[in-house]
Amino acid sequence: MNLNFAFHSLICTFAVVMAPLAERMRPLSLDDYVGQQHLVGPGAVLRRMIEGGRLSSFILWGPPGVGKTTLATIIAHQLQTPFYTLSAVTSGVKDVRDVIEKAKGNRFFNTATPILFIDEIHRFSKSQQDSLLGAVEQGVVTLIGATTENPSFEVIRPLLSRCQVYTLKPLEQDDLMALVKRVTEQDAILKQKPFELQETSALMRYSGGDARKLLNILELLYEGAEKEDKVLVTDRIVAERLQQNPLAYDKDGEMHYDIISAFIKSIRGSDPDAAIYWLARMIEGGEDPAFIARRLVISASEDIGLANPNALLLANAAFDAVMKIGWPEGRIPLAEATIYLATSPKSNSAYMAINDALQKVEQTGNQPVPLHLRNAPTKLMQQLGYSDGYKYAHDYEGHFVEQQFLPDDLQDLRLWHAQQNPSEDKLLQRMIQCWGERYKS
């Protein structure tokens, strides 16, 4: 019997040692948890809930490797309540319903509500999320969801309204360094050799605020120093061991939208340095060049507009050039267009005019076209007065003659309002010369 017990203990120890470092060192208490002090620091909202043992349903939203699953593990370890976990990648509606039935069976009088943790909840379909609603609303389970995607886009509104959303941030450098110190001193394997941190820039850069990446790198460095008496950490060694792009960029996820937003806002804000930086981030992250080029064309129309009409021509030319020459040379016309647009004067008068016009059309419906503006390709139409009284502008001095072009009920409507820049000032003066008082206000 003692031999069996010893053998069982040996197997358990071996299984723990063989687990990845991230699993071996996953904290089981908030005191060992790294980062997210705005949520789990002294007096913070999640710490109060966990220590009080009374949770309401919530969703943890943040990039990979910042502690979402770890928080759920800590809750499971600290609270005396049934804890169920599902992965949205492998679970279906039947799995959800089975867990809910088990939770109902484990619900006793005066006990805490069972907790259901769903990892990657954004991967659940609408029907899968619908199957959770009743259980969450009736208090059968307390839901904890984890997602890397914006819940407002990926979680159905009825479920989102029943959950508080807590945002987790990428880990700061101090957090990552504290994690390095803890694992190299406490992990059963890594502590067998001293770690000499001569340089940490590459270690921090390749980690990108992701604790899991950091731990994987440390494990890789340890294995690479198998024949050495210590683990030397320098920027060169880290780069050689990894040999991969350190940038975090998900072309279908939140980072994609955040960076393109920063790019366009930098152009709009006339900051060429910021704009070219975000362009570089997209290029290094493997963004589709056609996507970048399309956004430049949109920006040229929306944000530069009539203040510099050449911007649209150059943006469109950059689009054509990128499609013809591809990577890596395509980065050059994109950079040229980016800097040109960022340094150009700005106007959104055309953008505002079409938005106001669409709103007016929605409000006023199908206003009839004045007869003198209608097409008259047949004799009957001519007899009905179509095109009668139309004045051909080129027959008049200056190629202009005053006449009504808007529907009768909207003939005094103003939609385009010039903005203050030399190009539009010139256009406005011509409109005043043609139309007089109409364009003076």
Last residue of a domain, one of 116, 137, 167: 167
**Type of residue at 78:** Q
Residue 119, in any domain of the structure? yes
Quickly state the pLDDT bin for 16 (edges 50, 70, 90): very low
CA distance readout (Å), 28 to 60, 67, 71, 73, 219: 18, 12, 9, 7, 21
Residue 5, in any domain of the structure? no
The answer on 128 and 48 residing in a single domain is yes
The answer on 118 and 84 residing in a single domain is yes
**How far is 66 from 172, CA to CA, in rounded Å?**
10
The answer to whether the CB of 65 falls within 8 A of the CB of 179 is no
The answer on 163 and 214 residing in a single domain is no
Quickly state the pLDDT bin for 1 (edges 50, 70, 90): very low
Q: For the segment 421-435, what is each residue's pLDDT rounded down to a tens digit?
A: 888 888 888 888 888
Q: What is the pLDDT of residue 255?
A: 64
Q: What is the CATH number of the domain that holds 56?
A: 3.40.50.300
Residue 93, in any domain of the structure? yes
Residue 402, in any domain of the structure? yes
Mean pLDDT of 213-223: 86
Residue 350, in any domain of the structure? no
Q: What is the CATH number of the domain that holds 275?
A: 1.20.272.10
Q: For the segment 149-173, what is each residue's pLDDT rounded down to a tens digit?
A: 888 878 888 888 888 889 888 888 8
Q: What is the pLDDT of residue 325?
A: 86
Q: What is the pLDDT of residue 90?
A: 77
The answer on 143 and 53 residing in a single domain is yes
Domain that includes residue 60, residue range: 25-167
The answer on 141 and 49 residing in a single domain is yes
Q: What is the CATH number of the domain that holds 219?
A: 1.10.8.60
Extract the tokens encoding 37: 């002090």
Location of structure tokens 């930098």: 266
Mean pLDDT of the chain: 82
Q: What is the pLDDT of residue 96?
A: 81
- Regarding pTM above 0.75, the answer is no
CA distance readout (Å), 217 to 207, 212, 383: 8, 9, 84
The answer on 151 and 31 residing in a single domain is yes
The answer on 373 and 317 residing in a single domain is no
Residue 398, in any domain of the structure? yes
Residue 363, in any domain of the structure? no
Quick check: helix, strand or coil at residue 219? helix
Q: For the segment 255-283, what is each residue's pLDDT rounded down to a tens digit?
A: 667 888 889 998 998 888 988 999 998 88
Q: Give the chain's domain count.
A: 4
The answer on 294 and 416 residing in a single domain is no
The answer to whether the CB of 327 falls within 8 A of the CB of 289 is yes
Last residue of a domain, one of 242, 273, 303: 242
Q: For the segment 60-94, what is each residue's pLDDT rounded down to a tens digit?
A: 988 888 888 888 888 878 887 788 888 777 777 78
Angle at Cα 382 formed by Cα 378 and Cα 383, nearest 5°?
A: 115
Angle at Cα 187 formed by Cα 183 and Cα 192, nearest 5°?
A: 110
Quickly state the pLDDT bin for 14 (edges 50, 70, 90): very low
The answer on 303 and 289 residing in a single domain is yes
Extract the tokens encoding 365: 């419906």
Percent of the chain residues topping a pLDDT of 90: 10
Quickly state the pLDDT bin for 231 (edges 50, 70, 90): confident
Query: Does the pLDDT value for residue 403 go beyond 60?
Result: yes
The answer on 189 and 85 residing in a single domain is no
Q: Which range is least confidently modeled, 16-20, 179-183, 187-191, 213-217?
A: 16-20
Mean pLDDT of 1-25: 54
The answer on 149 and 190 residing in a single domain is no
Helix (H) or strand (E) holding 73: helix 68-78
Last residue of a domain, one of 167, 198, 230: 167
Q: For the segment 287-315, what is each residue's pLDDT rounded down to a tens digit?
A: 888 889 999 999 999 999 888 999 999 99
Extract the tokens encoding 50: 């966990």
Q: What is the pLDDT of residue 6?
A: 44
**How far is 90 from 99, CA to CA, in rounded Å?**
14
Could you tell me how many helices (H) and strands (E) the chain has, helices first? 21, 7
The answer to whether the CB of 293 falls within 8 A of the CB of 271 is no
The answer on 82 and 121 residing in a single domain is yes
Residue 373, in any domain of the structure? yes
